Structure 1
């Protein structure tokens, strides 16, 4: 029996990042995966589906962190800065929604429930950011600026609220452990 160490970066797990502070997300948790059989190959449909889920989520997390790191700390929140950030957040969340919606029906029991939960969360974030930007750009009032800040907060909820995107999926079977280990996009690169 061979033991593999698999870094599973559970999307948004305990993220404390905010766009205003420019703080980076905490390092991913380490999970040790021990397949019970080294001779069985993981199901290719399951691996592809997991790669699609992880790719969409981790792509968002990476892009969001990259964007925040370019901001630096102590950024002054101005109307142009807020408008730009709302646009970026809407675009990033929209990419996740598109990526998740492009996935086929899950070959994993509970997978479609996990996907729907994430699609709902990122759709809400995308729509909040887009609407916040639209209102901010249409008005010069302080009320619009305050609403834009609330929209930015709502747009970042997937980072702060998603603790385990695979909570609805039974991950402790040998088949699932092997599939997760083979899903390269579920192992974030440093």
Structure 2
């Protein structure tokens, strides 16, 4: 409902005889309630815009982590900033590889998409790399810094959630819950 302004006028009194030349606008409960409704509607609209801004900020931050990742770390659900789907794509390295390798053969290449960041790790080394392309079960990546053993894991996300913050965590299973204020 659009807000309609009230045109307020003052009492105008003839100073010589005290006669009211113009009666001013009366202050009534209906007018006061109209003010309250306008203020409340503006507050609701402001809250809605804040939520939209938070969602856009989250999408921009996610998209900026890896060039071209298209926000694939978390896909926000429509209607709520606080709901997210955690990306847990994972695969296992089929053969050992040496530092400098740019091709990774895995058991499930379809778990990944072009231009996404993954972490490769074994019991000795860990690093983040960008998957530039996926061809079947072969991932093309930038040259690896470390060597990895057969059976090393390649995973999409290792986010640790605690005290309302998301931070770099160890690999494992996490439960993410929504806090409703």
The interval holding the TM-score normalised by the smaller chain is: under 0.3
Normalized per residue, the structure richer in helix is 1
Q: Which has the higher contact order (CA 8 A, sep 6+)?
A: 1
Alignment TM-score, normalising by the size of structure 1: 0.26
With normalisation by structure 2, the TM-score equals 0.27
Task: Decide which structure has greater strand share.
Answer: 2
Q: Is the radius of gyration larger for structure 1 or structure 2?
A: 2
